[in-house]
């Protein structure tokens, strides 16, 4: 249940940014989350509802950009989508992969007023 | 609520440096709770210097802030501070992760006893409750700090920073950080370690690397423990190695038993080689 720690991290970032911008309300928060970031979305939503109470993110709309993981085969250079770290290259069946994207876990932007 | 180890509202992480010369330990508590700043001040920058006879109804100005900040950036910054400290003192910091019961503490006890005099050691133990593991380490004559995370499911860089302040490991030593027994959450939290060592025992399933890929993907060494029990359990050691390699082809693998001692020289050689290896950035 590390998702609660993650939500607390997001709240911390949002509150700092809101103070800098002299904003009182965060209307929307945009997050980039890769499919290999290790985040269970149901747990994140559950933790979110509880954790944002009495914070600047209370009432903010949460917009999530899911980033599909992609890897490049180190054997034959094929680039392809992966669901798991242990997926094999669809062309040559190799497991020697370089993960190109999908581990993102960041606050992309805030809409404040 | 804690921002870095926040598994429970109001929970406190406690640190116990087990003192060699005294019978009692000195617990101290760090409240990890962070006050949230609430920017309730409504600034209205629209001063009308002209004598307005009509009412302006200014809607609050909306702004988009491009943040582009990693959610774990605070932990990662602290982890890099720890890493800098370790590098400067040439301390080989190892983060030991596994499910509960794989034999992390037993492996440490055996290692600390067998290599006494060859290498200098210090240990940080992470558990939700009790000093049991630290007491076992202390019995080998090694400097040890126990972190109790309360309800927390992992150690984070912030906790390691505090634990280090109390224990001050010596230069050219090995620091074992035994994480909370959990194959999920500790994978996400860099502590500043040089190597992450995942331990699996043959009494577990040989598909564990596939079931918990994040941990095996983020580790650099995999120790397969309790191999003395192989004749009695349906554990396919070749299969577990293949599965681990599928998840992480960089992973080194050492098979051993800290009960029979088989394979331990490989682990000891690995440690000694790593201590001597200069840090490259």
Domain ranges across chain A: 3-112
B46: pLDDT strictly greater than 60 = no
Structure token pair of residue B103: 């034999």
Q: How many domains does chain B have?
A: 1
d(C-alpha B243, C-alpha B206), whole Å = 8
* Chain B interface includes A75 (CB < 8 A): no
What is the CA A19 to chain-centroid distance, rounded? 23
Q: Is residue B18 part of a domain?
A: no
Residue B68 has its nearest CB partner, among A9, A24, A108, at A108
CB contact under 8 A, A111 and B64: yes
Q: How many CB pairs under 8 A join A and B?
A: 142
The verdict on a CB contact (< 8 Å) between B36 and A56 is yes
Chain B interface includes A85 (CB < 8 A): yes
Tell me which residue in A5, A17, A31 faces B6 most closely, judged by beta carbons: A5
In tens, the pLDDT along B174-224 reads 999 999 999 999 999 999 999 999 999 999 999 999 999 999 999 999 999
Architecture label for domain A3-112:
2-Layer Sandwich (3.30)
pLDDT (tens digit, 9 = 90+) per residue, B52-108? 445 555 566 899 999 999 999 999 999 999 999 999 999 999 999 999 999 999 999
| B131 vs B25: CA distance, rounded Å | 10
pLDDT band at B278 (very low <50, low <70, confident <90, very high): confident
Tens of pLDDT, residue by residue over A97-106, are 999 999 999 9
Residue for token digits 């004749």? B231
CATH of the domain at B234: 3.40.50.300
- In this predicted structure, what is the pLDDT of residue B55? 52
Domain span at B77: 73-275
Q: Tens digit of pLDDT for each residue in B109-133?
A: 999 999 999 999 999 999 999 999 9
Per the structure block, which two tokens stand in for B115? 């290599």
pLDDT tens figures, B136-176: 999 999 999 999 998 889 999 999 999 998 898 999 999 99
User: In whole angstroms, what is the distance from residue B244 CA to residue B214 CA?
Assistant: 11
| pLDDT (tens digit per residue) in B7-35 | 343 457 888 888 755 544 556 665 554 44
The C-alpha atoms of residue B58 and residue A39 are separated, in whole angstroms, by: 41
Contacts of B189 in chain A (CB under 8 A): 2
Instruction: Report pLDDT digits (tens) over A55-73.
Output: 999 999 999 999 999 999 9
């Amino acid at each position: 249940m590390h998702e609660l720690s993650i939500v607390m991290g997001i709240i911390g970032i949002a509150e700092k940014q809101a103070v800098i911008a002299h904003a009182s309300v965060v209307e929307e928060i945009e997050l980039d989350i890769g499919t290999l970031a290790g985040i269970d979305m149901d747990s994140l939503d559950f933790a979110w509802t509880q954790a944002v109470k009495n914070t600047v993110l209370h009432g903010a709309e949460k917009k999530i950009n899911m980033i599909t993981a992609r890897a490049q085969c180190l054997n034959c250079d094929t680039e392809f989508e992966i669901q798991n770290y242990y997926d094999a290259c669809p062309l040559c069946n190799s497991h020697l992969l370089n993960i190109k994207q999908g581990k993102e876990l960041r606050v992309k932007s805030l809409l404040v007023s | 609520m804690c921002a870095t180890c926040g598994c429970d509202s109001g929970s406190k992480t406690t640190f116990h440096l087990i003192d060699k010369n005294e019978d009692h330990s000195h617990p101290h508590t760090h409240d990890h709770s962070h006050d949230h700043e609430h920017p309730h001040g409504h600034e209205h920058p629209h001063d009308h210097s002209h004598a307005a006879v009509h009412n302006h109804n200014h809607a609050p100005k909306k702004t988009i802030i491009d943040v582009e900040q990693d959610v774990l950036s605070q932990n990662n910054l602290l982890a890099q501070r720890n890493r800098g400290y370790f590098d400067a003192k040439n301390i080989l910091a190892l983060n030991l992760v596994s499910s509960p019961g794989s034999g992390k503490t037993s492996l440490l006890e055996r290692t600390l006893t067998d290599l006494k005099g060859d290498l200098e050691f210090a240990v940080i133990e992470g558990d939700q409750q009790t000093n049991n593991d630290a007491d076992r380490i202390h019995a080998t004559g090694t400097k040890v700090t126990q972190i109790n995370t309360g309800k927390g499911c992992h150690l984070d860089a912030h906790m390691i920073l505090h634990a280090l302040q109390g224990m001050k490991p010596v230069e050219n030593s090995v620091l074992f950080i035994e994480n909370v027994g959990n194959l999920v959450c500790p994978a996400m939290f860099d502590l500043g370690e040089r190597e992450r060592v995942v331990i699996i025992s043959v009494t577990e399933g040989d598909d564990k690397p596939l079931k918990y890929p994040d941990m095996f993907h983020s580790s650099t060494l995999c120790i397969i423990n309790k191999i003395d029990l192989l004749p009695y359990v349906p554990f396919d050691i070749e299969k577990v190695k293949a599965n681990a390699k599928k998840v992480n082809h960089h992973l080194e693998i050492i098979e051993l038993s800290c009960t029979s001692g088989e394979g331990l020289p490989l682990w000891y050689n690995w440690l000694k080689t790593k201590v001597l290896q200069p840090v490259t950035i």
